[in-house]
Amino acid sequence: MKNSSNNHAIAVFDSGIGGLTVAAAIRNMLPAEDLVYFGDLLHLPYGSKSRNAVLEFTRSAVNFLVRQNIKALVIACNTATSVAKSQIEKEVSIPVVGVIVPGALAACRVSKNSRIGIIGTTRTVASDAYPEAIHRVNPDISVFQKATPLLVPLIEEGWVDHPVMKIVLSEYLRDIQGKAVDTIVLGCTHYPLIRGAVQEILKDVYIIDSAHTTAVMLKDTLHRKNLMSRKTETGVFRVFLTDTTDYFQSMAQRILGSEVCSFHNVTLQYPNGSAVYTA
């Protein structure tokens, strides 16, 4: 049976450019879907902010997105997923897909020695969302987390191939290298952009990013809820940003290739104004 919102858009949300790695995977798998991307550049990075701040930023973004005729929301940010997904699910009436469970499930499937490494923002690591998701599948898996807060600013600056990236990564990955993991989860949607550099350091380790697995989970959800697009032509792709940076467009192009998207600036109202958030 056809659902009246079949041809509504899918919203994909992140603090910055990272969620475009998830949007690209969705585009690839579900080309007929309209996409609305939201990048909260004004408040980036989320990973070093308090839980309350991340929840409020996410809520404001979602309030904007639900007014864009959307049928599903993808929180394409590990930090926002770990802090806000369960709360946002209670506040909206559309399906919400996060990026942590798909990545955790993929890691459990792939690991042979039951030793999994996670790298992510300070907030994501502090939430323990990955160890919890992995231990729900298999409590015997050993999980080693490392917060890697300098990576998002370097990536947003376009320094993905810069020698500084290699130095910072080598430093961060040293702990994980000593733990004999056979699988590492890129627990931040920005990190697929430095996948090659991670693989150079962790040579024989299997790398999981949640872009593809999240797209698969979204597709299953749309199927189950009868929400797949009925269109035959390629969907439109709109990008809304709360601020601009010098590198956003060129990095976006690097991720999306020949994809044509329209860029829009958006100003959000924050109920608490510029209030100081407390953790």
Neighbour-count burial of 92, counting CB atoms closer than 10 A to its CB (0-12 exposed, 13-18 middle, 19+ buried): middle
Beta-sheet pairing, 9-14 with 115-120: unpaired
Catalytic position from the list 25, 65, 188, 239: 188
Is 261 assigned a catalytic role? no
* Length of the chain measured in residues: 279
45 binds ligand DGL (CB under 6 A): yes
Decide: 66 and 92 in contact? Cβ < 8 Å. yes
Binding range to ligand DGL, per CB under 6 A, among 38-46, 60-68, 165-173, 244-252: 38-46
- Give the integer Cα–Cα distance in Å for 21 and 40: 15
Binding range to ligand DGL, per CB under 6 A, among 66-74, 108-116, 186-194, 244-252: 186-194
Q: Which of 58, 124, 127, 145 binds ligand DGL (CB under 6 A)?
A: 124
CB of 18 to ligand DGL, least distance (A): 3
Residue type, position 23, single letter:
A
Binding range to ligand DGL, per CB under 6 A, among 90-98, 185-193, 246-254, 260-268: 185-193
- Give the integer Cα–Cα distance in Å for 21 and 144: 24
Please tell me what DSSP assigns to residue 269.
Answer: P
Pick 125 or 141: Cβ nearer ligand DGL: 125
Largest alpha-carbon pair distance within the chain? Answer: 55
Is 77 assigned a catalytic role? yes
Pick 80 or 227: Cβ nearer ligand DGL: 80
CB of 123 to ligand DGL, least distance (A): 7
155 binds ligand DGL (CB under 6 A): no
Neighbour-count burial of 269, counting CB atoms closer than 10 A to its CB (0-12 exposed, 13-18 middle, 19+ buried): exposed
Q: Which of 7, 58, 121, 229 binds ligand DGL (CB under 6 A)?
A: 121
85 binds ligand DGL (CB under 6 A): no
Count of alpha carbons within 13 angstroms of residue 144, beta-carbon side = 17
Q: State the catalytic residues.
A: 77, 188
Q: Which residues bind ligand DGL (CB under 6 A)?
A: 14-16, 18, 44-47, 77-79, 121, 124, 152, 188-190
